[in-house]
Amino acid sequence: MILTKRLMTFMALLIVSLNTFATEPDWSAYAEVLKSVSPGTKNSVKLALVDYQALKANGKLEAAYQQIANFPVKNLASKDEKLAFYINAYNILALKTVVGHWPLDSIKDVGSLISPVWGKTAGSIDDNNVSLDDIENKTLRPLAEPRIHFAIVCASVSCPDLRDTPYTAAKINGQLDEQAKKFLANADKGLRVDKESIHVSKIFDWFGKDFKAVGGIEAFIRQYRPDLPNLPLEKDINYDWDVNGITAK
């Protein structure tokens, strides 16, 4: 018994020590969480569906949450490290918000018109309470990387798909390109073309100014969809806020 306690103490100290010098967490626990994500369809929209009931039952999400709750963010030195960490953190906390109130029809049900879910405390990062709004608008958007809008997932049908592997600093650029390309290839929620217009997600309307640094919305889109005809751009695809998982009955 004494040996077991000493071993547990040693392991705890080892984890703290590794976190102290790591430039980003070991995302293995989060990778286990993402095994609950699979391709599917909801409300006639193709998307990555999350098995929230399984996450609530198996406890894997708590382990992933502890990875960000206890990580010293001062160790994040580069822009790529910050992007990967905070995108993963946002997605973990969005999942945590839904699981913590499961079953529900929409993440917006956690809040209200007076007190939206985005401003509520979603969890802790490096021992500091944060909301989803804090991560998106105070940390990620100031990094001037518009592709974050195809990587952070607010647990809704019309959000970009939750990636089935964690983001990492070493791969972040390619991963963000893949996310943007995948979203803009999805006619159900990203981009579709008719005879008169190119219709795109309202994400481009809400966050339009974030794309100015890369030449504007249309230039950004055509970088990933060079096949598009010369038609007016309409930022009007309906945004479905239903939860991006099987709704419990």
Q: Does 1 map to a domain?
A: no
What pairs with residue 198 in β-bridges?
193, 233
Residue 57 is assigned to a structural domain of this protein: yes
242: in domain = no
| 2 Cβ contact partners less than 8 Å away, ≥ 6 residues apart | none
Q: Check pLDDT > 80 for residue 155.
A: yes
Least confident of 3-12, 79-88, 165-174: 3-12
Neighbouring C-beta atoms of residue 206, cutoff 10 Å: 12
Tell whether 40 is covered by a domain.
yes
Cβ proximity of 116 and 136 under 8 Å: no
pLDDT band at 10 (very low <50, low <70, confident <90, very high): very low
Q: Is residue 95 part of a domain?
A: yes
Phi/psi at 116 (5° precision): -60, 155
8 A C-beta contact, residue 231 and residue 196: yes
* Domain that includes residue 86, residue range: 24-237
Backbone φ, ψ for residue 163 (5° rounding): -65, 145
Tell me what the mean pLDDT of segment 114-119 comes to.
97
Q: Is residue 245 part of a domain?
A: no
pLDDT tier at 246, thresholds 50, 70, 90? confident
Q: Tell me if 13 is assigned to some domain.
A: no
pTM, full prediction = 0.90
DSSP secondary-structure letter at 156?
A: B
Is residue 19 scored above 50 in pLDDT?
no
- In terms of Cβ atoms closer than 10 Å to its own Cβ (0-12, 13-18, 19+), residue 152 is buried
Residue 247 domain-assigned (yes or no): no
SS3 91: helix
- Overall number of domains in the chain: 1
